[in-house]
Structure 1
């Protein structure tokens, strides 16, 4: 597999701040990934980064027991590890513009194990009739973008989207994992694909991604910018939340334009400090 021409090879000395980075913390994070891939290998993306190219780095990182989560390399050893196994690459922004870096985190929200007047918005588990779709089982006429579909006696069809599900398309199927109080909190959990749930019974629970309805994702920031509610340059998670707080009656109008719906599964809270 060849690397995408978007990558421009650089030296570690070209990386701003590399000398001052916390290489031990970076190695600790990489080591967790090295054990994770033993049960769930990462998919290689369209940029041509071959998962198997990480094999030597993963093997070296796994020499340390997974039960030992504290950094075990000195800062210099951790830095040498990355410089030995990796090559920095620059991805130039299109048309000499500015790049955009996004990140993942796990929000923590209050939740209830049962529906109440306050907690009425469910996080749903994967439905039994949701099936994976690829070129081998995709029926003629089904949107080639869809990687999931609803299995019916007549074959796979497009799954209900966010608006249909939130209007009750899956009610009565017993899919509810937990119940939330805030529609915007629920939406951003869908965006992140995972969350910590501070349950009303005192437990700290966790959910993570299981599957999705399959339709394309459309971010609310893009929608709000296009209709003139938030200038594009000012679109952030904070500005989006502030807009929804000021316009709660328009939440469905905006959020249902993102047809993609995420399903979850319960997961262990392995380390409360992570995420």
Structure 2
């Protein structure tokens, strides 16, 4: 028989010191201060975080980088996140807030529905039964006396209007709508020029599958061509295979309309995301709202990108301790950066003294 700890997983984080945090002295952490204050609007309700957030409030809205660095070094401990293996490097991708064209009424130009949450979809919070599964939930539908998985993307498409979900808006381009779902939030420009903001409301419970990876596996694109722009180009050159392409990803995102705002889109923490300072994480390993120091590189380069970030969002494809999705902001330039970003990086979870990482 094996010893009891022989199959135990390695700890997802190891305690370090500030000198071990790669690039810590190179950043201008004051740029992350508004994002930290946004996180504290939620975290301060939790006793372990309240003293650190109260201390942050005494520094005001615009402290210097030296003050911010000193604040963290005095009140926080860096924990380096590790993958199984263990390895300290993981994948860092990018996302952004896109702008697509749409309408509140359907016609020949605007024919692709942006759906709200179906009224017949159940959400089962596993953490209500098993506390160790707190971040996990299932989506399903009732058939007789059974709960079955909710419909996949292909099944939703086939069932059409039989599915009881509202149509919020109508998009003019199916591939743009698909990438709106991948990003999780965005803006829709109406024919009169008005912008409507939509945000993630729920998801059908099926795992995300990369359509870029599918195109590469079929020999349709090379790995370096499988960027967002490359996928869009292929889709527009092969309209007869559009359904086939989209249905390889069974995941389907439902939206809600959000109030107009000049702030960033609302993330999973329910605070606006900050361009270049918010990341999406796996909440099994990184508490939502927590500061994280990210050491990676700019898209398609070896130029360092070492930044204090705030874990304010999640994503169905963001799985693992050393895994982050970097929020680049709104618009075309942000989209280009996000679409090219597939870098390796290291992450340090910054926790108030006396607080330990999730296990």
Q: TM-score range by the shorter chain?
A: 0.7 to 0.9
| Cα distance in 2 between the residues matched to 1:26 and 1:209 | 24
Match of 1:47 in 2: none
Tell me if the contact between 1:119 and 1:181 (Cα under 8 Å) persists in the aligned partners: yes
Q: Secondary structure at the match of 1:133?
A: strand
1:271 aligned onto 2:262 = yes
Query: Would you say 1:13 and 2:19 are equivalent positions?
Result: yes
Mapping of 1:86-235 within 5 angstroms?
Answer: 86-91=77-82, 99-135=90-126, 147-171=138-162, 173=164, 175-232=166-223, 234-235=225-226
Q: Kindly tell me the number of residue pairs found equivalent between the two proteins.
A: 251
> Partners in 1 of 2:147 and 2:194 — Cα distance?
39
Q: Provide the C-alpha distance between the structure 2 equivalents of 1:5 and 1:224, rounded to a whole number of angstroms.
A: 36
| Pick aligned residue for 1:81 from 71, 90, 113 | 71
Q: 1:224–1:97: structure 2 CA closer, same or farther, 3 Å change rule?
A: farther
Once residues 206 and 5 of structure 1 are traced to their aligned partners in structure 2, the CA distance between those partners, rounded to angstroms, is 40
- Alpha-carbon separation, structure 1, partners of 2:88 and 2:37: 34
The match for 2:34 among 28, 32, 48 is 28
Provide the alpha-carbon RMSD of the alignment: 3.4
Deviation at 1:183, TM superposition (A): 1.0
Shift of 1:178: 0.9
Q: CA contact under 8 A between 2:12 and 2:84: conserved in structure 1?
A: no
C-alpha distance 6-208 of structure 1, shift in aligned 2 (>3 A): same
Deviations, residues 123-166 of structure 1 (Å, cap 9, x unaligned): 1011111111245999xxxxxx9710123453422222111222
Alpha-carbon distance in structure 2 between the residues aligned to 1:78 and 1:72: 9
The change in CA–CA distance for 1:168 and 1:27 in structure 2 (over 3 A counts) is same
- Structure with bigger strand share is 2
Q: Separation in 2 of the partners of 1:199 and 1:188?
A: 18
Provide closer, same or farther for how the CA distance between residues 15 and 172 of structure 1 changes in structure 2, counting only shifts above 3 A.
closer
* Distance in 2 of aligned mates of 1:137 and 1:90: 27
Unaligned runs of 5+ in 1: 42-50, 66-70, 139-144
